[in-house]
Structure 1
Amino acid sequence: MESYGKILLIAMPAFFVLVLFEKFWGVWKGNDTVPVNDMISSLSSGITNVTKDVLGLSIVIISYDWLFSKFAIFQIEATWLVYVIAFFALDFAGYWTHRIAHEYNLFWNNHIIHHSSEEFNLACALRQSISSIVKIFAVFLIPAAFFGVPPQVIAIVAPLHLFAQFWYHTRHIGKMGFLEKIIVTPSHHRVHHAINPEYLDKNYGQIFIFWDRWFGTYQEEQDDIPAVYGVTRPVRTWNPIKINFMHLWLLIKDAWRTKNWADKFKIWFMPLGWRPEDVAEKYPVNKISDVYNFEKYNPFLSKGMLVWSFAQLIVLLLLLSYLFGNISTIGAPDIFYYGGFVFLTVFAYTELMDRNPNAWAWELLKSAYAFYFIFTNGDWFGLNQFLPGSLYVFAAYLVVSSLFSIWFSFKKESLQLAN
């Protein structure tokens, strides 16, 4: 928990700088692929994901440590070759967990957030799940455990393998020659994120593309078929917390509504998109029929609203950095209370971006939540001791944030007329 938090203190600003670089590069080249509203939503999703992971808010049914203790028939030294083997093992496991997420109803809920952006850029790489409470990834590492790859090797290689999947989420890099046959490139991953019928459910590889070639899921990007991004059932919200659970909510409603008892159980493990016939007929859902002619989600936001939303994101990143850098000092259960504030903040300002008329209420709830801990503890989880005077700045932020949220919420009609 603490060590991962320390890694993120370096990784978060690095990713943020790269996202901004892609934004400015696109503007300079006359091909801006990073709309500010989409970028804020994507970065906010990343915030919720890393907060969940650092706080350990998931259940591991089978851990790699347990597999190693039960199945290892060798005890091998952690040499450079073992690290290479571990990297390939992780990528093989990643291919299959990724593929399963796309092919079965239940597991898609853990992955929909990553595909929810109707853009394709570095920021959308950070759209990662908070709904993957139960981890099954280790099951696919049984071969690595069998041959004695030490758990400490997996612990080091896993974050490197994850971070190495960031760079290819871009439209600014074309095909890369012979590398197209070896590693996953931006071209391959553009295909994977596309909703064109020709591209759907292809290129599941995370680092190496030869898994797709071997297992029949490879598709090359075609010049005459421009990729269109998103999901075929559009999420139509900037709120990453809502996106994380909307597919699960649909499954729950369908399972409840269907009159066929077999379908109530079958729906969870059927291919992605399957719905009981009686429910699909009575409760249709919006689905894109023509990928080249649909309206992208883009509720009108004034420049002031965009600036304010971006400011909220920056403040939250600073507060999150304090949490990650002081996890052991803050301690449990306070780190979980702090995490609750992070989630409330993201929910509040993304609801405002969605032009939800009740967004101001979420903002007031967030501020009341924070002031409760300030008044009961006389500090914000040691922030004032860490940086004297910062508590007053934080309290002022909460007041200003509430006032701005109320103002923007009740200015909704005039903003829409201005559009």
Structure 2
Amino acid sequence: MDLYAKVINYTIPIFLFLIAVEHFFEWRMGRKVSRGLDSVSSISSGVTNVVKDVLGLSLAIISYDWLLGHMALMSIEATWITYIVAFIVIDFKGYWKHRWEHEINFLWNRHVIHHSSEEFNLSCGLRQTVSGVVDYFFFLLLPAALLGVPVEVIAIVAPIHLFLQFWYHTRLIGKLGWLEKVIVTPSHHRVHHAVNEEYMDKNLGQIFIIWDKLFGTFQEEKPDIKIVYGITRPAKTWNPIKINYQHIFLLWKDAYHTKSWKDKLKIWFMKTGWRPADVIEKYPLESVGDPYLYQKYDPPASSKFKAWAWIQLFFNYFLLVYLFSHIAVIGSPYIFIYGAFVVLSVYAYTELMDRNPYALYMEMGKSLLGLFMIYWMGDWFGASEHFGLWYSATVAFYCVASIIVVGYFSFTEVNEKSQALVRS
């Protein structure tokens, strides 16, 4: 946990720097590939995901350690060849995990957050799940276990494999010649994120595109088919936590409403998007018909409203850096309280981004919790031992200021939206 937290503290600044570089080239090239609140939502999703991962809030049904202990046919040392084998096996596992998440209804809930952005850029690459707390797919590492690949090799290669999936989430890089035949490129992954019927559920590989060509899921990007990004049932929210559970909530509702006992069970394992016929008729859903006519979710927002969203995001990232740097010192159960505060904060400010009239109350609840923690502990989770009183004072000031600022926006932009809806 402690080591992974330190790795995350080193890698997140790299991701944020690359996102800034993409924004610079977007401006220089005169190409619009991002929107402010969409990017805030994407990065906020990444924040919730790393909180879950670093705090170990996930469970593998079968661990690699168990597979190795019970299935290994040989024992090998950790050489460079071992790392290559591990990388290939992890990528093979990644392809099938990714494919089943696209094809099976209940598994789609683990992955829908990643496709929910209606843009395609580097920040979109940070939209990662918090709902996937159970790993059903560790059995796919069986080839590595049979060969006796050591646990520490998998532990090193797995995060590297994950981080290498970030760079190809961009529209600013064209096709890459012979590399298109071997690895997943931005062109391949643009196809993967498309909502166009011609492109959907294609290019499921994570590093090597060879798996798609072997198993019949490859689709080249066509110059005459403009890609439209998103999901067929639009999320219509900036709140990443809500997006993580929209699909599973729909499945529960459909299973409850259908009259067929067979369909109550069947719905979970059918192809993604399948619904019982009686539910479709009685409870229709909004979906993207013609992708070229679809209007993106983009409620109007002033520049100061957008600026506040970015301030909220980066202050919570500031809090996260302290948590990950001192996770062993803070200890249990306080690390979970800290993580809950950050997730609650993300929920509150993204609800404000959605113009939820209750966002002010959520912000007040989060801020009062933060102030109570400072009062109860005497500072902010032991920060005074490392930085003096200024860190705790800064957090306290933020908690008070956020109530005031959110209150201001609640009586200006949030109320303006509500009044517009009444007039319409």
TM range (shorter): over 0.9
Measure the CA separation in 1 of the matches of 2:345 and 2:415: 25
Mapping 1:15-164, distance limit 5 Å:
15-164=15-164
Which one-letter code corresponds to 1:380 in the other structure? W
Query: Is residue 301–residue 413 contact of structure 2 (8 Å, CA) maintained in 1?
Result: no
Which one-letter code corresponds to 1:14 in the other structure? I
| SS of equivalent residue, structure 1 residue 321 | helix
Query: Is residue 301–residue 415 contact of structure 1 (8 Å, CA) maintained in 2?
Result: no
| SS of equivalent residue, structure 1 residue 411 | helix
Q: Deviation of residue 220 (structure 1)?
A: 0.3
Residue 246 in structure 1 maps to residue 226 in structure 2: no
Match of 2:287 in 1: 287
Q: Deviation of residue 28 (structure 1)?
A: 1.5
Q: Deviation of residue 413 (structure 1)?
A: 5.7
Match of 2:412 in 1: 411
Deviations 1:160-184 (A, max 9, x none): 0000000000000001111100000
Which sits farther off after the overlay, 17-26 or 217-226? 17-26
| SS of equivalent residue, structure 2 residue 32 | coil
Query: Is residue 99–residue 204 contact of structure 2 (8 Å, CA) maintained in 1?
Result: yes
Mapping 1:248-287, distance limit 5 Å:
248-287=248-287
Measure the CA separation in 2 of the matches of 1:136 and 1:76: 26
Match of 1:302 in 2: 302
Q: Deviation of residue 414 (structure 1)?
A: 6.5
Match of 1:185 in 2: 185
Query: Is residue 86–residue 153 contact of structure 2 (8 Å, CA) maintained in 1?
Result: yes
Measure the CA separation in 1 of the matches of 2:392 and 2:180: 52
Query: Is residue 114–residue 125 contact of structure 1 (8 Å, CA) maintained in 2?
Result: yes
Query: Is residue 201–residue 217 contact of structure 2 (8 Å, CA) maintained in 1?
Result: yes
Measure the CA separation in 2 of the matches of 1:237 and 1:149: 43
Match of 2:393 in 1: 392
Measure the CA separation in 1 of the matches of 2:383 and 2:360: 26
Q: Deviation of residue 280 (structure 1)?
A: 1.1
Measure the CA separation in 2 of the matches of 1:281 and 1:406: 42
Query: Is residue 40–residue 309 contact of structure 1 (8 Å, CA) maintained in 2?
Result: yes
Measure the CA separation in 1 of the matches of 2:320 and 2:416: 31
Q: Deviation of residue 34 (structure 1)?
A: 1.7
Which one-letter code corresponds to 2:137 in the other structure? F
Query: Is residue 115–residue 230 contact of structure 2 (8 Å, CA) maintained in 1?
Result: yes
Which one-letter code corresponds to 1:408 in the other structure? F
Measure the CA separation in 1 of the matches of 2:222 and 2:92: 26
Query: Is residue 22–residue 34 contact of structure 1 (8 Å, CA) maintained in 2?
Result: no
Query: Is residue 302–residue 415 contact of structure 1 (8 Å, CA) maintained in 2?
Result: no
Which one-letter code corresponds to 2:246 in the other structure? M
Deviations 1:237-258 (A, max 9, x none): 0000000000000000001111
Q: Deviation of residue 137 (structure 1)?
A: 2.7
Measure the CA separation in 2 of the matches of 1:137 and 1:239: 28
Match of 1:327 in 2: 327
Q: Deviation of residue 93 (structure 1)?
A: 0.2
Measure the CA separation in 2 of the matches of 1:226 and 1:384: 54
Q: Deviation of residue 370 (structure 1)?
A: 1.0
Query: Is residue 357–residue 410 contact of structure 1 (8 Å, CA) maintained in 2?
Result: no
Gaps of 5+ in 2: none
Measure the CA separation in 2 of the matches of 1:185 and 1:25: 19
Q: Deviation of residue 415 (structure 1)?
A: 4.8
Measure the CA separation in 1 of the matches of 2:40 and 2:137: 29
Deviations 1:280-328 (A, max 9, x none): 1100111111000011000111111111110111111111000000000
RMSD, aligned α-carbons: 1.2
Q: Deviation of residue 384 (structure 1)?
A: 2.1
Runs of 4 or more, structure 1, over 4 Å off, are 413-418
Query: Is residue 23–residue 32 contact of structure 1 (8 Å, CA) maintained in 2?
Result: no
Measure the CA separation in 1 of the matches of 2:275 and 2:35: 34
Gaps of 5+ in 1: none
Deviations 1:9-52 (A, max 9, x none): 11011101111111121011101312111110000000000000
Output the TM-score relative to the length of structure 1. 0.98
Query: Is residue 113–residue 240 contact of structure 1 (8 Å, CA) maintained in 2?
Result: yes
Identify if the C-alpha distance between structure 1 residues 413 and 45 changes in structure 2 by more than 3 Å, giving closer, same or farther. closer
Measure the CA separation in 1 of the matches of 2:405 and 2:137: 43
Measure the CA separation in 1 of the matches of 2:365 and 2:416: 24
Query: Is residue 45–residue 241 contact of structure 1 (8 Å, CA) maintained in 2?
Result: yes
Identity %: 55
Query: Is residue 357–residue 414 contact of structure 2 (8 Å, CA) maintained in 1?
Result: no
Which one-letter code corresponds to 1:67 in the other structure? L
Identify if the C-alpha distance between structure 1 residues 338 and 413 changes in structure 2 by more than 3 Å, giving closer, same or farther. closer
